Structure 1
Amino acid sequence: MSTTSVPSHGDAAALVPLPELDPLMRDLLAISLTAVSLLRPAYSEAGEIHDFTLDYLNPAAQRRAGLPEQPSETLRSGFPSTFTNGVFDLYRRTYETGQDGRLDFNYEANGLSHHFQGTARRSGDLLVVSSTDTADQPHAAADATLHQAGAATQADDFSEQVRARQQVQQLNEELAATNAELHATNDEHLRTNTALSEAQHQLRQLNQQLEAHVLERTQDLEGARNEAEAERHRLRALIAEAPALIAQLRGPNHFVELVNERFGSLLSGRELAGLLYRAAMPELKNQPFFDQLDAVYRTGESYYGKEVPAVLDRSNSGQLSTDYFNYTYQATHDASGRVDGILVFAEEVTEQVLARQERETQREQLQNLFMQAPAPIVILDGPAMVYQLVNPAYQRMFPGRELLGKSLLEALPELAGSTIPQLLHEVYTTGEAYLAREMPLRIARHEGAPLEDMYCTFTYQARRTCYGVIDGVLVFAHDVTDQVRARGRVQELNQELAAINEELHTTNEELATSNTQLVSINSDLDNFVYTASHDLKAPISNIEGLLATLREELPAPAKGSEVALILDLIQNSVERFTHTISLLTDITKLQKEYNQFATPVVLSQVIDEVRLDLAPLLQEVGGHLHVNVAATPTITFAEKNLRSVVYNLVSNAFKYHNPEREANVTIRSRVEAAYLVLEVEDNGLGLDLSGDHQLFGLFRRFHTHVEGSGVGLHMVKKLVENAGGKIEVKSKPGQGSTFSVYFPC
């Protein structure tokens, strides 16, 4: 039998090549009186065998089934009764267990009753079925006529059945006559028995050779299957232990066949295997991932994503977070080369992305700092030393000369004969900083101007990437020409210099004394502001009382009169003064509380105290405070400062509640890396944090309909940062806010 292509399951037009058979095997199958069929399993989306395709029928099987060698029918479409008489169940069990199966069954077809005997064995991806039909033996004419009559009776009514019986009786008489003819032919049949026995003997020998060949091939395939299964187990173990996120998806609907432990732990143990990917990861709807998977399955082309943001419910609580991933979608193929699934390989890079963003922010801040610095600063990029940044102070050293975007020698060609290019090259090559004090230069300050003498002090420092690779040089310059010239003049006046030095020494001592006095004055000033802010409260209260008394004693002034205007101005001035004193008190408290001693503090007790202090506010807004801080029973922090942090965050959460719904505030804690994290989440008005929001700026307020100073969040940020921590906020207008305070462990 030559190489054959047969329909594969799921696609009647696609063909799967069968192995090449030797001539003996091909001839044996061609003349065999036994029906031999090769079946291939067809799977449902759930991965179960639900049908078999007919990949090959030998001539005996073709005659019996009335089908070609490579039929387009499946077992279900061509032989539906096999799903009710137990044949399909036997085939499926034999394929799945690998144990040989035997069967005896009756099959009704073409008005005749057939009795079959057969065997089935799995061979690689195929099921080999061999069967014999007792109906293949020659029937007497009367038997055939009886079968035809029986078939006819199935289609006719009762009267037709009677006529059929009469016809059968008549045929019985004809049968007696044909028996005599059969007797005459018996002698001829006996003569042919000898030749038939010899042919049967040869057929048995061929059958034995065929069985030996099939057994050898089956053993080879079994060994290959065992080796493949072992390799599959090794692959599964490797996937389970891999440090990346790995999942195996099957079918066009992306059935999750396998996920490794790291993938599951990313989603807090959420069940993924055995589900469709869309059902297992519903939060990915309206994100690009499902469309990407569909495209990979449709085209077979891999997809690579780098630092792609994904909004996930990592805690399975409905709380979504944005994380970043590098990932690959790789199509997998079946034995025929068709796409049958997708391998997902992903790596979380959230920390790297956020760290890079932070570095970029810091780099931008550093660049802004350079641009605003009073000292001349430039950044020379690459080995060509191209001016990448020139701050205004440096540009003032060379007014009118274009520097930015040019190399050092292109912008200042007169430096070619100096040592500066060589020094910069050494710093770029070795990474070692260099300090050049009062280096003499012959340079033109203006474009086309004559060269003039100048002296500069330079600091050359290598700039490195986040990977430690040198990519430029930072230059800090200071024009000391005037100082050098002044020193030259001073050297001519040594006697005066001695006197000046003495004066400078005395002045330094006075400055040191002044510095000490300033430190003391600053401390006294803090104390004065704190004391004054408190001492002024009583007079202001008295003024308010006197003003109220004055309003009561004076006749009610006419609206818009000068007296009423003056009283209102006095009242407004008193209120502004009171507000200013309150702000001064808060800020002074913050200054005094910077250096509080840190001790282990029971967090739940602090929260209970704050809850009692805010009881009137909770009752006023009808709010509820939910607490879950079992993860961090104690926090090492200044107790007074910790109470201030909790009080400000919780009071703000209730003050800025959404009047359209019940106010709910949740306090929870967790351990994250080197931090104890305290979160305060509310469902209030929320904040618009787009742009330069400066939420923690002093006197910064987002909602003015509620009384406040704009100092609370500023104080919280300073208290936490001074202790080595940090504070973050996530918020959406109309939905609420979550403040996360990171206390160092």
Structure 2
Amino acid sequence: MKDLKELNEELENYFRNTVIPQLFIDANFILRKFTPPAMKLFNLSNRDLGKHLDDISDNIRYPTFMENIKEVIESQEDFEKEIQTTDMNWYQMNILPYIVRKEGRSNGVIITFVDITDRIETLKAFEKLNRNFENIFYTVSHDLRGPVGNIESLIKLLEDVDDIKSEDSKEILDSLVESVTNLKQTISDLTDKSDVMDSKSPEKGLGKVHLQQIIHEVRLSLKDKISKSNAVIKTDFDIPDIKYVRRKIRSILYNLVSNAIKYATSEEIPTICIKTEKVNEFIVLTVQDNGIGIAEDKHDTVFDRYARISDEVEGTGVGLFIVKSMVEDSGGKIEVESALGKGSTFKVYIKE
């Protein structure tokens, strides 16, 4: 009896001093014991001892909790799972069978919860960093096609001009110089990693961006497509300047305007309306077109990588994926309103 008393005291000292939430559940799902940290995690009190788990309130966001306990009791095998609580913390949950050796059966389980919130947040930060770098490489290969195509077209026109000193030649050369300047700026923006190097400093890389200047650069990058399609771009900026990463807002507008021209109908001249407005805590940048539209069943997948609006139009299917990734990584969101034959409206919600 003395030995049992000493052992019981040692166990009680362990329960009082451990920092790990633990539950002791018998084979009938009755709570037999818990450590003090479990009181906070499960909102427990001593009145809960002897109760069935179904009768105990908890804040675990894990619907198959009871099923997994039953599985461990029946199989006598350990179970491990990462779970999240309603306060948004993450835990490594281990369910271990409490085996009665003499009888060779499980008489319940011991459940241990180890806080891994910091580890999960670190992994998320690395994942975001990887996505940002991936976006840079996708953007470089995707966005440079427009400026390079313009340069090639201008050079071909220049080769056909007889008098290099004529007004036409001077205009072409001026456009060529502007295109090259814009290309150099684009490359500089795309290779500037200052806004993605430190995931814990989201303000890095942010600055005041004049939207009309960005639209001018987008027009220049898409000059060849605009000229061939006779596209009309209209702007109405209630909010002319925003705080954003310059390369990101340029890429967002480039992709949305480029798509609006690319997916135009053969019956109408492409007309693209771009505007900004204040909606609650967001600045909403809207790009509306009169193109072929997007089928309703594709609204949820149109932002997926390699998703294509139409197989009849050339493209890689990464443009809208890039846009969505950039917008969400900056704390915003993007929505699409569209129907076949009625054009599309993309709304980019930018946090102030």
Report deviation, 1:445.
0.8
Structure 1 Cα separation of the partners of residues 338 and 71 of structure 2? 58
Report deviation, 1:416.
4.7
Query: Which of 318, 325, 330 pairs up with 1:723?
Result: 330
- The aligned runs of 1:66-215 (5 Å cut-off) are none
For the 8 Å contact 2:208–2:242, the answer to whether it is kept is: yes
Structure 2 Cα separation of the partners of residues 442 and 619 of structure 1? 67
Q: Deviations over 1:312-367 (max 9, x none)?
A: xxxxxxxxxxxxxxxxxxxxxxxxxxxxxxxxxxxxxxxxxxxxxxxxxxxxxxxx
Alignment CA distance shift 1:593-1:725 (3 Å): farther
SS at structure 2 position matched to 1:719: helix
- Establish whether residue 690 from structure 1 lines up as the match of residue 294 from structure 2: no
For the 8 Å contact 1:610–1:643, the answer to whether it is kept is: yes
Alignment CA distance shift 1:619-1:636 (3 Å): same
For the 8 Å contact 2:324–2:333, the answer to whether it is kept is: yes
Structure 2 Cα separation of the partners of residues 441 and 733 of structure 1? 51
Report deviation, 1:693.
4.1
Alignment CA distance shift 1:599-1:423 (3 Å): farther
Report deviation, 1:626.
0.9
Partner of 2:254: 647
Counterpart residue type for residue 683 of structure 1: N
- Establish whether residue 623 from structure 1 lines up as the match of residue 231 from structure 2: yes
Report deviation, 1:607.
0.9
Alignment CA distance shift 1:590-1:649 (3 Å): farther
Partner of 2:51: 422
- Establish whether residue 614 from structure 1 lines up as the match of residue 227 from structure 2: no
SS at structure 2 position matched to 1:742: strand
Counterpart residue type for residue 268 of structure 2: R
Aligned structure 1 segments of 4 or more residues deviating by more than 6 angstroms = 440-443, 454-464
SS at structure 2 position matched to 1:686: coil
Structure 2 Cα separation of the partners of residues 700 and 639 of structure 1? 26
Partner of 2:281: 674
SS at structure 1 position matched to 2:74: coil
Q: CA RMSD in A?
A: 4.6
Counterpart residue type for residue 259 of structure 2: N
Report deviation, 1:591.
11
Structure 2 Cα separation of the partners of residues 699 and 606 of structure 1? 26
For the 8 Å contact 2:277–2:285, the answer to whether it is kept is: yes
Partner of 1:479: 95
Alignment CA distance shift 1:733-1:415 (3 Å): same
Q: Deviations over 1:689-717 (max 9, x none)?
A: 32674111111112122221111111111
TM-score by length of 2: 0.51
SS at structure 2 position matched to 1:414: coil
- Establish whether residue 703 from structure 1 lines up as the match of residue 310 from structure 2: yes
State, as a whole percentage, how many aligned pairs show the same letter.
29
For the 8 Å contact 1:441–1:455, the answer to whether it is kept is: no
Partner of 2:320: 713
Partner of 1:657: 264
Partner of 1:632: 239
Alignment CA distance shift 1:457-1:687 (3 Å): closer
SS at structure 1 position matched to 2:301: coil
Report deviation, 1:477.
4.9
For the 8 Å contact 1:699–1:710, the answer to whether it is kept is: yes
SS at structure 1 position matched to 2:327: helix
SS at structure 2 position matched to 1:738: strand
Alignment CA distance shift 1:634-1:423 (3 Å): farther
- The aligned runs of 1:388-407 (5 Å cut-off) are none
Unaligned runs of 5+ in 2: 1-24, 34-48, 61-68, 102-125, 142-186, 197-203
Alignment CA distance shift 1:693-1:478 (3 Å): same
Structure 2 Cα separation of the partners of residues 458 and 691 of structure 1? 34
For the 8 Å contact 2:265–2:291, the answer to whether it is kept is: yes
Counterpart residue type for residue 687 of structure 1: I
SS at structure 2 position matched to 1:727: strand
Alignment coverage as a number of residue pairs = 217
Q: Deviations over 1:13-64 (max 9, x none)?
A: xxxxxxxxxxxxxxxxxxxxxxxxxxxxxxxxxxxxxxxxxxxxxxxxxxxx
Report deviation, 1:441.
10
Alignment CA distance shift 1:659-1:691 (3 Å): closer
Structure 2 Cα separation of the partners of residues 732 and 427 of structure 1? 49
Alignment CA distance shift 1:723-1:415 (3 Å): closer
Alignment CA distance shift 1:458-1:700 (3 Å): closer
Structure 2 Cα separation of the partners of residues 618 and 639 of structure 1? 23
- The aligned runs of 1:595-606 (5 Å cut-off) are 595=196, 597-606=205-214
Report deviation, 1:615.
2.3
For the 8 Å contact 1:594–1:722, the answer to whether it is kept is: no
SS at structure 1 position matched to 2:254: helix
Q: Deviations over 1:143-166 (max 9, x none)?
A: xxxxxxxxxxxxxxxxxxxxxxxx
Partner of 2:344: 737
For the 8 Å contact 2:231–2:271, the answer to whether it is kept is: yes
Structure of greater Rg: 1
- The aligned runs of 1:508-657 (5 Å cut-off) are 595=196, 597-629=205-237, 631-657=238-264
Q: Deviations over 1:63-116 (max 9, x none)?
A: xxxxxxxxxxxxxxxxxxxxxxxxxxxxxxxxxxxxxxxxxxxxxxxxxxxxxx
Structure 1 Cα separation of the partners of residues 84 and 258 of structure 2? 49
SS at structure 2 position matched to 1:702: coil
For the 8 Å contact 2:72–2:78, the answer to whether it is kept is: no
Report deviation, 1:462.
7.6
Alignment CA distance shift 1:463-1:638 (3 Å): closer
